[in-house]
Amino acid sequence: MIILKSKTEIAAMREAGRVVAQAHQIVAENIRPGVTSKYLDQLVEEFFVSQGAIPAFKDYQGYPASICTSVNEIVVHGIPNDIPFEEGWIVSVDIGAFVDGFCGDSAWTYPVGVIDTDIQKLLEVTKESLFRGIDKAVIGNRLSDISHEIQTFVESNGFSVVRDFVGHGIGRSMHESPQIPNFGIPGRGPRLKEGMTLAIEPMVNVGGYHVEVLPDNWTTVTVDRSWSAHFEHTVAVTAEGPQILTVI
């Protein structure tokens, strides 16, 4: 069952989204060679405490940190650690928080210093696929219209979309119905209605789409160890069109 939100509830979700976006701003200002993912995790957790926000990921199914930091060939769910970032790396930072009972969820892939041009293209294509997907989140479309748009844009640029992880509805829980694959044929799935709130999150690989989970049961890497990017926004379907909630 897809839970539709009232305008008041969407306004509350925008507050959670704003705190998540501000946390991303802190990450953007602090990420550079020599910084560790654990340090970024601490900065975000302290910021959440200062805002009265609750980290959505910490203790979720035993996850041990407030953010996910997925470096290079790590696709998602990288656990913050003490390894200093190096120039040329990419770090996908996924952040979620609850504010007044509603969740915001957003991911962004950050370059560390100067990166290769083909990796720069990976980031640009993944980000644009997210915004193209968001543009399809309009009343009357079907869910897989979002999925199809993301897949066709990504694949037309020579990259692949991950199959094993998907976007999701979001609200009072981080994960609500429906699941939102980043691939599929158009015109399938539920019709999009006013008040749906969706976390759309393409994960895109330079090489093949297959991924595997490492023995820590979280860290998810590409099978071919090609690098991967991840961009995510929490979005509301409204009469005025799609509204991105994870913005300042």
Taking contact as CB under 5 A, which single stretch among the options 48-56, 59-67, 76-84, 199-207 is the one that binds Co ion?
Answer: 199-207
* Separation between Cα atoms, residue 140 and residue 163, nearest integer Å: 25
Strand order across the 220-222 sheet: 74-76, 220-222, 211-213
DSSP for residue 190? P
Q: Of 121 and 175, which CB lies nearer to ligand MF3 in the complex structure?
A: 175
The residues with which 168 forms a beta bridge, in sequence order, are: 179, 199
CB atoms within 10 A of CB 214: 13
Shortest separation between residue 95's beta carbon and ligand MF3, angstroms:
8
Q: Of 62 and 140, which CB lies nearer to ligand MF3 in the complex structure?
A: 62
Give every CB contact of residue 17 below 8 A, 6+ residues apart in sequence.
104, 106, 234, 244, 245, 246, 247
Q: Of 76 and 192, which CB lies nearer to ligand MF3 in the complex structure?
A: 76
Tokens of 19: 């705190």
> Choosing among Co ion, ligand MF3, none, which partner's interface includes residue 77 (Cβ < 5 to 8 Å by kind)?
ligand MF3
Taking contact as CB under 5 A, which single stretch among the options 23-31, 185-193, 194-202, 206-214 is the one that binds Co ion?
Answer: 194-202
* Separation between Cα atoms, residue 75 and residue 212, nearest integer Å: 9
**Three-point CA angle 19, 52, 245, nearest 5°:** 25
| 176 binds Co ion, rule: CB under 5 A | no
Shortest separation between residue 204's beta carbon and ligand MF3, angstroms:
15
Tokens of 137: 């989140």
Shortest separation between residue 232's beta carbon and ligand MF3, angstroms:
6
Q: Of 20 and 199, which CB lies nearer to Co ion in the complex structure?
A: 199
* Separation between Cα atoms, residue 137 and residue 152, nearest integer Å: 16
Q: Of 68 and 150, which CB lies nearer to ligand MF3 in the complex structure?
A: 68
Q: Of 167 and 189, which CB lies nearer to Co ion in the complex structure?
A: 167
Report helix, strand and coil shares of the chain as percent, to nearest 5. Answer: 30, 30, 40
Enumerate binding residues for ligand MF3 (CB under 6 A).
57, 60, 63, 68, 77, 94, 96, 105, 107, 168, 199, 232
CB atoms within 10 A of CB 46: 12
Shortest separation between residue 126's beta carbon and ligand MF3, angstroms:
14
Give the one residue of 9, 45, 73, 105 binding Co ion; rule: CB under 5 A.
Answer: 105
Shortest separation between residue 47's beta carbon and Co ion, angstroms:
19
| 73 binds Co ion, rule: CB under 5 A | no
Tokens of 167: 């976007």
| 199 binds Co ion, rule: CB under 5 A | yes
Shortest separation between residue 234's beta carbon and ligand MF3, angstroms:
10
- Footprint on this chain of Co ion (rule: CB under 5 A): 105, 199, 201
